[in-house]
């Protein structure tokens, strides 16, 4: 009877009973009677042992999966254990992407085809797509000949590349929601009995829970990491805030702000002027409009320091292509502090400028009140009024007045002088013993402005007179149409007195009424009647001297004088007319000399 519990074919049992009957064994009939029941018991016990082994393997596998926390590791473990449980050639797992209406093969075990390992199946197509859509298990002994599935060429080609024939697929569900499918496949045709379908379905149920737990665990870990990063960012922001506040309280400057930000961002931070050429204008405009940090090429970032729409500075970060949100907010906070510092410094500078401008007004008063007190006030501001000083009166033309005034104030402070505004023109008092050189320095710093200069003076009581002289020079230059040039009294001569209170229109009228006919004649015919008359006056009316000076024949001089008489009239030699003509010719010469660059600097 022990043979009934061995792994022997049924035919062997039948042969043994038949031999017992032939030998007249009295127990043969009894054996024949109990044989079916004994075989049934044996088969039942065998199935139970197999089921116990499967359940034991399933339990061990499920227990192993619950210990895995990494999402990628658990995906690989699921397909590996599924392949081992069913003993198939391949196992693979697909996950649903609801937004795309498709299932993707995420991981395989036993696969050799890259195309198969990265296959995407729209829901409802192929065996995987059908299981993922319906949430029901499906099995096929030979996929290529099974018309229950929607076949698509690229899916069938990928299956053929893997040489797959038989496939079993079961759904993976979490809280009644299908998240994907688990599949086992063979490279030869074979059926999948109900026991294997049930076994893989049970395993898929455990695997889905383990997969969801791993996903939730990873989500929790990510959340914890984000909380830690947020906490670190908050601590960094608080530390930077304290340091920036310290910069404000101790009266620091933009360089101190740059130092704090450089340390916090682990990068070089510069505070640039609003018009810095190294920063693209479009990026600066975007930073001003948005109020946020803007990324440039080469791992650079900028943020605009603004206040009330006024662009005060630009912060530039070098060498950080990956500033996170917290770091960008730190940079923007630094820009706000920089703007506040610039506003404070500007207010202080403007107050100082007003004080210095008031001092300049008092020094230019006529007569100056209490020169001794003025010397004391000037000394407090680093101005030595008893040493050589040059007075410059500046017409800025179309330049930006606010910017030019700020630059003039900086020049005055740096040079130990004063600056201010008087009668619509800017006035500077700067140390120096060469008026034209000082004027050139002013023009170099302020741009193409018109500058009249006077001095040097080394006594407080002489400042008012020097100012009047410089102002007359400035007005004369504008009257002569020489905007953008520098001149002093020596180069303008009597024109300074004549034009100091006149404008270009008055000058044009005077010249038109006196020597206008000569200038028009010369321009129309290319002659030199005006030059001849000027030379004739200088030569005290000597035609011979004019002939030698102009290198022309005496007869030519006589002919030109006749033409001059015809144009100006017979009375041009009268004393009153002579004075007007000589003044007009002098002004004409001044204009000519400025045109060729020989007057002033």
Strand order in the sheet with 389-395: 418-422, 425-431, 389-395, 450-457, 486-487
- Would you state the pLDDT for residue 84? 84
Phi (first) and psi of residue 184, to 5 degrees? -125, 140
| pLDDT tens digits, 496-548 | 656 656 556 556 666 776 788 888 888 888 888 888 888 888 888 888 888 88
Across-strand partners of 463? none
Return all residues near 78 (Cβ < 8 A) that are at least 6 apart.
65, 93, 107, 182, 207, 210, 211
CB pairs under 8 A, 24+ apart, for 505-509?
A: 506/479, 507/479, 507/480, 507/587
CA angle 566–567–571, rounded 5-degree value: 75
Is 401 in contact with 409 (CB distance < 8 Å)?
no
- Would you state the pLDDT for residue 53? 46
Q: Which residue has the tokens 């099995």?
A: 139
| pLDDT tens digits, 41-74 | 555 555 555 554 455 545 555 555 555 557 778 7
- Would you state the pLDDT for residue 35? 61
| pLDDT tens digits, 258-315 | 777 777 777 888 888 888 888 888 888 888 888 888 888 888 888 888 877 788 888 8
Is 105 in contact with 183 (CB distance < 8 Å)?
no
- Would you state the pLDDT for residue 17? 63
- Which tokens belong to 528? 């030199």
Domain 68-218: CATH superfamily, name plus number: GAF domain (3.30.450.40)
Other CB atoms within a 10 A radius of the CB of residue 354 amount to 11
- Alpha carbon dihedral 353, 355, 360, 365, in 10-degree steps, equals 150
The class (CATH top level) of 365-499 is: alpha beta
pLDDT tier for residue 371 given thresholds of 50, 70 and 90: confident
Across-strand partners of 392? 428, 453
Whole-Å CA distances, 587 to 474, 502, 526, 592: 15, 13, 20, 9
Cα separation of 306 and 340, whole Å?
A: 9
Least confident of 27-41, 142-156, 205-219, 560-574: 27-41
Whole-Å CA distances, 525 to 56, 405, 521, 528: 123, 48, 6, 9
Burial class (CB in 10 A: 0-12, 13-18, 19+), 269: buried
- Would you state the pLDDT for residue 143? 94
pLDDT tier for residue 7 given thresholds of 50, 70 and 90: very low
Cα separation of 477 and 214, whole Å?
A: 86
| Beta-strand pair 418-422/425-431 | antiparallel
Cα separation of 562 and 569, whole Å?
A: 10
Angle (deg, nearest 10), helices 504-514 and 463-479: 60
Q: Measured in whole angstroms, how far is the alpha carbon of residue 317 from the centre of its chain?
A: 9
Tell me which DSSP letter residue 6 carries: S
| pLDDT tens digits, 445-496 | 888 888 888 888 888 888 888 888 888 888 888 877 788 888 887 676 556 6
Other CB atoms within a 10 A radius of the CB of residue 145 amount to 9
- Would you state the pLDDT for residue 175? 84
Q: Is 556 helix (H, G, I), strand (E, B) or coil?
A: helix
Average pLDDT over residues 89-114: 88
pLDDT at 235 over 70: no
Is 361 in contact with 422 (CB distance < 8 Å)?
yes
Cα separation of 234 and 291, whole Å?
A: 21
**Two domains, one topology: 68-218 and 251-347:** yes
Burial class (CB in 10 A: 0-12, 13-18, 19+), 476: buried
| pLDDT tens digits, 507-517 | 666 677 678 88
Q: Best-predicted range by mean pLDDT among 173-187, 339-353, 513-527?
A: 173-187
- Would you state the pLDDT for residue 4? 43
* CATH architecture for segment(s) 251-347: 2-Layer Sandwich (3.30)
Q: Is 17 helix (H, G, I), strand (E, B) or coil?
A: helix
- Which tokens belong to 448? 């193409």
Angle (deg, nearest 10), helices 254-265 and 325-364: 170
pLDDT tier for residue 600 given thresholds of 50, 70 and 90: very low
Q: Is 109 helix (H, G, I), strand (E, B) or coil?
A: strand
pLDDT at 79 over 70: yes
Least confident of 123-127, 398-402, 437-441, 510-514: 510-514
For 445-493, the three-class secondary structure string (H helix, E strand, C coil) is HHCCCEEEEEEEECCHHHHHHHHHHHHHHHHHHHHCCCCCCEECHHHHC
pLDDT at 6 over 50: no
Other CB atoms within a 10 A radius of the CB of residue 177 amount to 12
- Would you state the pLDDT for residue 168? 94
- Would you state the pLDDT for residue 1? 43
Burial class (CB in 10 A: 0-12, 13-18, 19+), 274: middle
- DSSP per residue over 375-430, as a string? HHHHHHTT--TTS-EEEEEEE-TTS-HHHHHHHHHHHHHHHT-EEEEETTEEEEEE
| pLDDT tens digits, 428-444 | 888 988 888 988 898 88
Average pLDDT, the chain: 79
pLDDT at 239 over 80: no
Is 336 in contact with 310 (CB distance < 8 Å)?
no
Q: Within 480-598, where are the H helices?
A: 489-492, 494-499, 504-514, 516-525, 529-538, 543-550, 554-568, 575-595
pLDDT at 387 over 50: yes
Average pLDDT over residues 327-333: 80
pLDDT at 2 over 50: no
- Would you state the pLDDT for residue 348? 66
Cα separation of 339 and 334, whole Å?
A: 9
- Which tokens belong to 497? 């007195």
Cα separation of 216 and 466, whole Å?
A: 86
Q: HSE (CB half, 13 Å, CA atoms) of 231?
A: 6
Strand order in the sheet with 294-296: 268-272, 310-318, 300-307, 294-296
- Would you state the pLDDT for residue 232? 66
| pLDDT tens digits, 133-174 | 999 999 999 999 999 889 999 999 999 999 999 999 999 888
pLDDT tier for residue 211 given thresholds of 50, 70 and 90: confident
Is 85 in contact with 207 (CB distance < 8 Å)?
no
| Beta-strand pair 138-140/294-296 | unpaired
Least confident of 2-11, 186-195, 241-250, 589-598: 2-11
The domain spans of the chain are 2-62, 68-218, 251-347, 365-499, 505-595
Whole-Å CA distances, 365 to 75, 377, 408, 458, 468: 92, 15, 21, 16, 11
């Amino acid at each position: 009877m022990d043979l009934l519990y061995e792994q022997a074919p049924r035919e062997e049992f039948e042969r043994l009973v038949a031999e017992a009957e032939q030998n007249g064994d009295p127990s043969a009939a009894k054996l024949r009677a109990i044989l079916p029941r004994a075989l049934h018991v044996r088969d039942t016990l065998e199935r139970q042992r197999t089921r116990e082994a499967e359940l034991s393997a399933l339990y061990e596998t499920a227990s192993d999966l619950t210990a895995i926390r990494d999402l990628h590791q658990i995906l690989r473990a699921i397909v590996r254990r599924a392949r081992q449980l069913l003993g198939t050639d391949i196992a693979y797992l697909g996950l649903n992407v609801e937004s795309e209406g498709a299932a993707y093969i995420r991981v395989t075990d036993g696969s050799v085809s890259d195309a198969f390992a990265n296959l995407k199946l729209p829901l409802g197509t192929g065996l995987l797509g059908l299981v993922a859509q319906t949430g029901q298990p499906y099995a096929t002994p030979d996929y290529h000949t099974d018309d229950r599935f929607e076949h698509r060429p690229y899916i069938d080609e990928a299956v053929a590349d893997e040489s797959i024939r038989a496939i079993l697929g079961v759904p993976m569900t979490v809280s009644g929601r299908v998240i994907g499918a688990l599949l086992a496949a063979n490279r030869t045709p074979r059926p999948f009995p109900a026991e294997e379908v049930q076994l893989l379905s049970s395993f898929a149920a455990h695997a889905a829970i383990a997969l969801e737990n791993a996903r939730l665990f990873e989500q929790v870990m990510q959340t914890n990491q984000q909380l830690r990063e947020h906490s670190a960012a908050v601590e960094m922001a608080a530390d930077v805030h304290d340091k920036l506040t310290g910069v404000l309280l101790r009266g620091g400057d933009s360089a101190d702000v740059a130092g704090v930000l450089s340390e916090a961002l682990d990068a070089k931070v510069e505070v640039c002027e609003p018009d810095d050429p190294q920063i693209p204008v479009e990026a600066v405009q975007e930073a001003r409009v948005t109020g946020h940090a803007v990324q440039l090429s080469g791992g650079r970032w900028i943020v605009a320091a603004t206040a009330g729409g006024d662009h005060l500075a630009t912060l530039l970060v070098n060498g950080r292509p990956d500033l996170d949100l917290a770091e960008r907010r730190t940079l923007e906070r630094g820009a706000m502090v920089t703007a506040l510092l610039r506003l404070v410094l500007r207010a202080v500078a403007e107050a100082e400028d007003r004080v210095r401008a008031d001092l300049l007004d008092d020094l230019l008063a006529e007569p100056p009140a209490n020169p001794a007190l003025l010397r004391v006030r000037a000394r407090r501001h680093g101005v030595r009024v008893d040493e050589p000083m040059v007075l410059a009166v500046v017409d800025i033309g179309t330049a930006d007045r606010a910017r030019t005034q700020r630059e003039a104030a900086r020049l005055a402070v740096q040079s130990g002088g004063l600056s201010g505004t008087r009668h619509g023109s800017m006035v500077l008092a700067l140390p120096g013993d060469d008026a034209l050189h000082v004027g050139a320095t002013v023009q170099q710093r302020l741009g193409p402005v018109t500058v009249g200069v006077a001095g040097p003076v080394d006594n407080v009581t002489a400042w008012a007179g020097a100012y009047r002289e410089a102002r007359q020079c400035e007005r004369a230059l504008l009257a002569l149409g020489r905007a953008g040039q520098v001149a002093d009294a020596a180069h303008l001569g009597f024109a300074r007195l004549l034009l100091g209170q006149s404008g270009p229109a008055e000058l044009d009228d005077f010249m038109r009424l006196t020597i206008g006919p000569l200038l028009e004649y010369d321009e129309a015919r290319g002659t030199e009647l005006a030059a001849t008359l000027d030379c004739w006056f200088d030569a005290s009316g000597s035609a011979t001297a004019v002939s030698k000076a102009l290198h022309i024949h005496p007869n030519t001089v006589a002919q030109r004088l006749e033409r001059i008489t015809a144009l100006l009239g017979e009375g041009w030699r009268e004393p009153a007319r002579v004075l007007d003509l000589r003044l007009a010719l002098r002004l004409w010469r001044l204009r000519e000399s400025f045109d060729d660059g020989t007057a002033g600097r």
